[in-house]
Copies of this chain bind each other. A is one copy, B any other.
Amino acid sequence: MSSLHTTVKAMVFDTFGSVVDWRGSIVRDLTRWGNENGFQADWTVFAEQWRSMYQPSMEACRSGKREFTVLDVLHRESLDVLIEQYGLSKMTEAQREHVNKVWHRLDGWPDSVGGLTRLKSKYIIAPLSNGNISLLTDIAKYTGLPWDLNLSTEVFRCYKPQPESYLGVCHALRLDPSEVMMCAAHNNDLLAAKNCGLKTAFWPRPTEYGPTQTDNLVATEAWDVVAKDIRDLASQMGV
């Protein structure tokens, strides 16, 4: 482990699910907002359905079927579909924008701010997320994530797991891939990063998708670090 402490210069983090609790945050936010504004729905199912449209919407960009489009716009397109499905079409434009921006108001998991603050004392830390620049900026301010810089895949005009995102971050930081560690609660993200030569760190978020989650409960490969959470990752990285 100790050689990792000197080799790794930057640690980049998947954000949705790994650092912030999108599902719990959205359910809390929209339940309160719905009650105050007269919109009723099963917001848990609503949040999960919204998230299930995430990969297909990005896939259109990844495959070249449409040009690169930021996540705020993809989220809004999916939201408009859901609003029809849920019979919520009396929602005004301003209300739709407010609801769409719930993705800018996500809470960190309890260990995120503390763990990242420790890691920042020794390493460059940044999100490497498919969230767009504005979205990641707002989340960081909202929940207090102490990033050194903001490495949205928007900078590289692609979406993870496209190699350009992992290699783009190394290029921007002027580091060799072996000096950059991809950190995530998702094995597939880490595999794509590893294939680009990055170091990898995993910790599980067993309730990211709720109590019946079956994926990503454990590390499926021998990642460079397997931790309990971001606090434990900080300890294993020597800070």
Asked if A148 contacts B137 (CB within 8 A), the reply is: yes
A174 touching B124 by the CB < 8 A rule?
no
- Expressed in whole angstroms, the Cα–Cα distance for A147 and B67 within the complex equals 30
Copy tally for this chain in the complex stands at 2
Chain B residues whose C-beta falls within 8 Å of the C-beta of A172 in the assembled complex: 132-134, 154
**Which chain A residues numbered 51 to 79 have a C-beta less than 8 Å away from chain B?**
70, 72
Decide: B148 and A141 in contact? CB cutoff 8 A: yes
In the complex, which residues of chain B have a beta carbon less than 8 angstroms from the beta carbon of A137?
124, 148-149, 173
Q: How far is the CB of A110 from chain B (nearest CB, A)?
A: 23
Interface of A is mostly: helix
Which residues of chain B come closer than 8 Å to A134, judged between CB atoms? 172-175
A140 within 8 A of B: yes
Q: Would you call A133 and B173 a contact (CB within 8 A)? A: yes
A70 to chain B: closest residue by CB: B174
Instruction: Name the distance in Å between A55's Cβ and chain B's nearest Cβ.
Output: 23
Q: Does A150 contact B (CB under 8 A)?
A: yes
The CA of A154 and the CA of B172, in the complex, are separated in Å by 8
